[in-house]
């Protein structure tokens, strides 16, 4: 008798391990989906540019304890991600391109995919492991986080290790006090790393999972399997040395800012205008989990039908309490629920092969059909982005945009077929189509929309200047952190009068990048000083953060030594 594609429990050793071929296909598809654009998409405002610039300043200053953006302390997150970026930018140092700063996110995303596949295979077989890893790799939210130089993809990797170890301890380990060197050590080491990356987010996820699971199963003795005394010591040994060092260096300012504002401040009110209603994450899930969201209804039906099994109970406890907390927290961003995605991917993979049984009732078919229709709608919107983006920003719609949109339509059709005929083969076809779409979208189409990247285009112009070994730059009106990443930590983010004063203070090598809205004030100061300027170029674009049009002109004083390459003296 042929065994089912996804066995409900581990079988022979070869059934709970992905074959080398399966690993190769999974990692290749994940890489094609997640990597293109890491080096070609310009720096994004605002958080990414701040993270990357703070890392660059660590190289400049030689201080790898304190975290600064220009002269301001940056204490909203711990140092872990900056240290990772220090490692990946080492070949370049302070002049590393943005892609080097994004490598920890890319590696974190790939590691999370691999860990999810491995964990699923250990419990449900290699076919389920491959499917769960691929579903996670394709999630649209993962595409954003793998290409962004900040914490969340690396945090996800730590979270999968922590939750995977917890799942093993709760459902597979039977000893009352297992050896610490093993799953307990993995659990606590992962938490130490997660604390160093983003504070107690993963700790919250694990505590909620543990409380939910133990309350459900009434297996209170399972708590002893965590070996908390040596475990807490291990986590603190990873996290505390830097905390002690930064506390001594800042007089406690780090703890006050990171705990008081960055963590607790987000609970009671929306931080930085990032608010949303209860249900925000649920309503957005067809987007964040696309295209695997085609299986989301099936995943819910599977979880309900198998709720008597301890492994399923653990996965439910991994998802629901954390999801509910983030729905209740006032500050909301799409990536906040990312730590639950591996468990959702696992349930979706398991549900896929049981679709006929799960869809016997009309209500189940209606739920699945509504979600599938939303997934197709989301796919159509995503497919239109390359062409619509070029049109919106008044740029020629080139071949790359059309190709990306066609690939997006292909992926959408494939996701629709996955909803109609859920199967491992159709999931693989959807994976190939979606990975190709993401590669074209992020690797070529989005970087090619010049209007989205005004600071990058100004930096290209400045790079063509000759006459000074170093230049000093002030930007007036366009005060985004990407300017600092491009032009250095001494860049002045100011207004029109400030940009004029900057030129007057450095007449030989000073540059002013002035938005049209600041031009009158800029010229008023120069007229009063009796100074004239030369125009080196103009960049029209869009401030993506503020949603405002920009018209930036690059000025130097008349007597400046700076000239565009090839220009006469």
Tens of pLDDT along 399-418?
999 999 999 999 999 999 99
Say how far apart CA 383 and CA 404 lie, in whole Å: 7
User: Angle at which helices 98-124 and 20-34 pack, to 10 degrees?
Assistant: 140
Every domain of the chain and the residues it spans: 20-46+105-263+276-362, 453-564
Contacts of 134 (CB under 8 A, 6+ apart): 26, 29, 30, 113, 117, 427, 428, 431
Tens of pLDDT along 168-209?
999 999 888 999 999 999 999 999 999 999 999 999 999 999
Contacts of 328 (CB under 8 A, 6+ apart): 278
Tens of pLDDT along 44-90?
999 999 999 999 999 999 999 999 999 999 998 999 999 999 999 99
User: Angle at which helices 152-171 and 183-198 pack, to 10 degrees?
Assistant: 160
Is the alpha carbon torsion for 52, 54, 57, 58 positive or negative?
negative
For residue 270, count CB atoms less than 10 angstroms from its CB and return exposed for 0-12, middle for 13-18, buried for 19 or more: middle
pTM of the full structure:
0.94
Give SS3 for 333: coil
More confident residue, 427 or 250: 427
Q: Average pLDDT of the chain?
A: 93
Low-confidence winner among 20-24, 247-251, 496-500, 554-558 (lowest mean pLDDT): 247-251
Q: What is the pLDDT of residue 97?
A: 98
Q: What is the pLDDT of residue 4?
A: 40
pLDDT confidence band for 255 (50 / 70 / 90): confident
Distances (CA, A) of 412 to 61, 291, 415, 435, 439: 48, 8, 5, 12, 15
pLDDT confidence band for 156 (50 / 70 / 90): very high
pLDDT confidence band for 8 (50 / 70 / 90): very low
Contact 365, 359 (CB under 8 A): yes
Backbone angles phi, psi at 448, to 5 degrees: -80, -5
Contact 457, 421 (CB under 8 A): no
Say how far apart CA 555 and CA 552 lie, in whole Å: 10
Say how far apart CA 534 and CA 563 lie, in whole Å: 10
According to the CATH classification, is domain 453-564 in 3.40.190? yes
Give SS3 for 416: helix
């Amino acid at each position: 008798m042929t065994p089912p594609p996804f066995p409900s429990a581990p079988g022979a050793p070869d059934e709970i391990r992905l074959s080398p071929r399966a690993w190769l296909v999974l990692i290749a598809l994940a890489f094609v989906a997640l990597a293109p654009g890491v080096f070609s998409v310009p720096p994004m405002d605002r958080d990414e540019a701040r993270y990357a610039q703070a890392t660059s300043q660590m190289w400049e200053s030689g201080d790898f304890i304190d975290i600064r953006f220009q002269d301001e302390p940056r204490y909203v997150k711990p140092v872990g991600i900056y240290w990772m970026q220090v490692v990946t930018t080492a070949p370049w140092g302070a002049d590393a391109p943005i892609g080097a700063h994004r490598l920890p996110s890319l590696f974190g995303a790939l590691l999370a995919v691999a860990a999810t596949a491995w964990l699923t295979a250990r419990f449900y077989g290699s076919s389920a492991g491959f499917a769960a890893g691929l579903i996670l790799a394709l999630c649209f939210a993962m595409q954003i986080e793998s290409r962004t130089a900040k914490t969340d993809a690396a945090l996800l990797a730590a979270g999968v290790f922590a939750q995977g170890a917890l799942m093993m301890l709760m459902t597979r380990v039977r000893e009352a006090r297992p050896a610490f060197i093993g799953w307990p050590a993995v659990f606590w080491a992962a938490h130490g790393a997660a604390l160093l990356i983003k504070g107690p987010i993963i700790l919250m996820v694990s505590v909620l999972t543990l409380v939910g699971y133990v309350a459900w199963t009434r297996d209170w003795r399972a708590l002893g399997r965590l070996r908390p005394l040596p475990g807490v010591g291990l986590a603190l040994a990873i996290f505390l040395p830097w905390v002690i060092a930064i506390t001594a260096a800042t007089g406690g300012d780090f703890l006050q800012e990171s705990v008081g504002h960055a963590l607790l401040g987000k609970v009671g009110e929306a931080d930085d205008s990032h608010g949303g209603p209860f249900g925000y994450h649920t309503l957005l899930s067809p987007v964040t989990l696309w295209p695997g969201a085609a299986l989301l209804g099936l995943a819910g039906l599977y979880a309900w039908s198998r709720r008597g099994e301890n492994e399923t109970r653990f996965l439910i406890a991994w998802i629901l309490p954390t999801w509910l907390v983030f729905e209740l927290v006032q500050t909301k961003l799409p990536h906040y629920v990312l730590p639950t995605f591996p468990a959702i991917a696992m349930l979706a993979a398991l549900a896929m092969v049981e679709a006929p049984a799960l869809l016997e009732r009309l209500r189940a078919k209606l739920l699945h059909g509504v979600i599938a229709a939303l997934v197709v709608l989301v796919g159509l919107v995503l497919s239109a982005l390359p062409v619509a983006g070029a049109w919106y920003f008044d740029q020629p719609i080139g071949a790359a945009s059309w190709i990306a949109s066609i690939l997006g339509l292909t992926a959408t059709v494939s996701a629709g077929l996955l909803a109609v005929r859920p199967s491992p083969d159709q999931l693989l076809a959807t994976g190939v189509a979606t990975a190709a779409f993401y590669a074209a979208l992020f690797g070529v189409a989005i970087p090619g929309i010049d209007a989205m990247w005004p600071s990058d285009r100004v930096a290209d112009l400045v790079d063509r200047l000759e006459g000074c070994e170093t230049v000093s730059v002030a930007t007036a009106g366009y005060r985004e952190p990407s300017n600092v990443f491009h032009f250095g930590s001494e860049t002045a983010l100011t207004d029109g009068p400030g940009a004029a004063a900057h030129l007057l203070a450095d007449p030989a090598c000073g540059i002013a990048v002035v938005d049209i809205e600041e031009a009158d004030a800029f010229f008023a100061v120069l007229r009063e000083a009796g100074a004239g300027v030369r125009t080196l170029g103009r960049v029209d674009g869009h401030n993506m953060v503020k949603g405002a049009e920009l018209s930036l002109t690059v000025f130097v004083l008349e007597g400046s030594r700076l000239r565009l390459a090839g220009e006469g003296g």
